Amino acid sequence: MIQVEGLTRTYGGFTAVDDISFVAQPGRVTGFLGPNGAGKTTTMRVMVGLTPPSRGRVTIGGHVYHDIPNPGRHVGVLLDASAQHAGRSGREILTIGARTMGLPDARVDEMLALVSLSPEESKRRLRNYSLGMKQRLGIAHALLGDPSVLILDEPANGLDPAGIRWMRGLLKGYADRGGTVLLSSHLLHEVEMIADEMILIGRGKIVAQGDKKTLLDRGGAPSTLVTSLDNGALAAALQGKGIPLVAAGEGLKVEAPAVEVGRTALEAGIVLTDLRFGGAGLEELFLELTSDTQREGHIEGASA
Amino acid sequence: MSMTLDVSGTAQIPFTRLVSVELRKTADTRAGRWLLGAIVGITALFMIIFFLVADSEERIFGNFIGIASTPQGFLLPVLGILLVTSEWSQRTAMVTFALAPSRTKVIAAKTVAALILGVAAFAAAVLIAALATVLGGASEGFEGLTATVFVLFLALQLLTVLQGLAYGLILLNTPAAIVTFFVLPIASSIVFALVPFLSDVAPWFDLGTAQQPLFTSFGGEENLTGEHYAQLGTTALIWIVLPFMAGWARVMRAEVK
């Protein structure tokens, strides 16, 4: 279990992390989500003692990281897959980790197999690795000591879709066996697919947290995207019921559930050609919650 | 699924293991192997050149050791610098300190690893010098050889290694540390030589001036006095020990990026 209590980190007058508290539970994958520069990395760096906190503290399983003996055996850390010596081979990087933790060299081969890096690839120097290969190596490094807690910063960054699916399966399985997983991302759909719990952070502050359902319930009224053979008539019928709507592409975006839109169309005798859920998805929520903290302001598809 | 982590069964990482990992890091890249090879190779090359140009009567052990100290004095500190600064330039410090959060232990392990390599280079130099002396055919090749020569030569090498480590720790940047290591002592010597009221006290404050009698003593021409030793002490304190402490303090407080 990772427990963050009242954590604040300031740099001069700038507050990178502003009094945040949350818990990452064992047996669950906790997603740490926020736009770039929101404070995710700073929080994770404080967790493993690389950055001293200005106030507050983080404990892992009840211990401050610094007090955990041979911490690699308990906490797997991947903060930046590129933060390895470019001149070392992948295998050598894992060997140094294994030696430091006091693990047999056979563990290196096991981990290479686990992340599907071939023996030939493992002998290449890191500077010749693609970002996806570096991420796989970084995940292998984090898992070396068979830890019960995983802290991963943007682990899916650079992975191809098959790689992301692989990682999802890996982390789910890891949590199902009782492990604690905290992973960060600035991409909502990545986290949405993997995480059981989500913590949304924007400009150093936690703006929402909970499981997916709780967060969706917070999102307010759902909207619907609809296209029909007579959009003008449909719009008139909906407005007649006092339902707000706007034109969206070839159709309408209606501030009502799909069932209400369908019923109105039926009553008005209008043929629908497309009717689907139009938001209040997590993406809407994410953008809304972080909109005042986004650099660009609210932009459609900004999380893509 | 327990909320607390049971760490009672986990032993601390032994210090010797950290040292062996640091030693491994010096030789597991192409650049590292080249540097280690260059230290031995260039030491041998200097001695061979001296062997060829010197008269047979000059081919004595003390001279060979003196010759060896020059390239080693240049290259060993670079090894010490890289051992520290590469962790920052390659950003591996993030991984190193995540696996071993005690920065004091990591710095100590790096220091011990660098000193071990310094001792190894010393052993190699002694071996090559002995071989060259035997082959050189000087009638009194090993004459007047005292344990002091060995100890002083070794101490000099280890101090320069520490000096490299110190500048690496303070600057945490490879080019800056290497440039500082080479330029600062020269600049200091120039200042102390040119400014009249400073030149009198130079042996007490300038590292190069204080170490000068050491080099001549290798050839057996001059013995070190108590004053020499005191001067070696004060300059080592100013140029090596204090920077080392400052660098250590910096790394303890540094945010590891």
Q: What is the pLDDT of residues B31-40, one digit of tens each?
A: 899 999 999 8
With contacts defined as CB-CB under 8 Å, which chain A residues touch B252?
Answer: none
pLDDT on residue B149: 76
The closest alpha carbon to A2, from A156, A163, A151, belongs to A151
- pLDDT higher than 80, residue B143: no
d(CA B173, CA B180): 11
pLDDT on residue B86: 93
**A140 and A133 Cβ atoms separated by less than 8 Å:** no
- pLDDT higher than 70, residue B141: yes
Between chains, do B28 and A88 touch, taking CB under 8 Å as contact? yes
pLDDT on residue A83: 94
Per-residue pLDDT tens digits for A149-188: 999 999 998 888 899 899 999 999 999 999 999 999 988 8
- pLDDT higher than 70, residue B7: yes
- pLDDT higher than 60, residue A126: yes
Q: What are the boundaries of each domain within chain B?
A: 15-253
Supply the ipTM of this predicted assembly.
0.90
Between chains, do A62 and B4 touch, taking CB under 8 Å as contact? yes
Residue of chain B minimizing CA distance to A24: B3
| Residue B154 buriedness (CB in 10 A; 0-12 / 13-18 / 19+) | middle
CATH class, domain A221-279, is alpha beta
pLDDT on residue A304: 36
- pLDDT higher than 60, residue A295: no
- pLDDT higher than 90, residue A73: yes
Q: What are the boundaries of each domain within chain A?
A: 2-210, 221-279
d(CA B209, CA B204): 8
Global pTM value:
0.86
**A139 and A115 Cβ atoms separated by less than 8 Å:** yes
Between chains, do B7 and A68 touch, taking CB under 8 Å as contact? yes
**Which of B35, B95, B250, B253 to probe by mutation at the A interface, max A CB count within 10 Å?**
B95
**A74 and A68 Cβ atoms separated by less than 8 Å:** yes
What number is the average pLDDT over the span B250-255?
A: 91
What number is the average pLDDT over the span A245-270?
A: 88
- pLDDT higher than 90, residue A143: yes
With contacts defined as CB-CB under 8 Å, which chain A residues touch B82?
Answer: none
| Residue A82 buriedness (CB in 10 A; 0-12 / 13-18 / 19+) | middle
Tell me the percentage of chain B whose pLDDT exceeds 90. Answer: 51
Least confident of A138-142, A297-301, B130-134: A297-301
d(CA A83, CA A243): 53
Tell me the percentage of chain A whose pLDDT exceeds 90. Answer: 67
Rounded to 5°, angle at Cα B150 from B149 and B151 = 95
pLDDT band at A36 (very low <50, low <70, confident <90, very high): confident
What number is the average pLDDT over the span A257-273?
A: 90
- pLDDT higher than 50, residue A299: no
- pLDDT higher than 90, residue B101: yes
CATH class, domain A2-210, is alpha beta
Which of A50, A79, A99 lies closest to B255 in CB terms? A50
Place of tokens 């709507």: A245
Inter-CA distances, A156 with A31, A43, A98, Å: 12, 18, 23
Between chains, do A1 and B30 touch, taking CB under 8 Å as contact? no
| Three-class DSSP category at A214 | helix
Distance from the A33 Cα atom to the nearest Cα atom in chain B, whole angstroms: 21
pLDDT on residue A302: 39
Six token digits for residue A96: 């140094």
What number is the average pLDDT over the span B192-213?
A: 87
Inter-CA distances, A292 with A29, A205, A289, A299, Å: 27, 12, 7, 11
With contacts defined as CB-CB under 8 Å, which chain A residues touch B4?
Answer: 1, 61-62
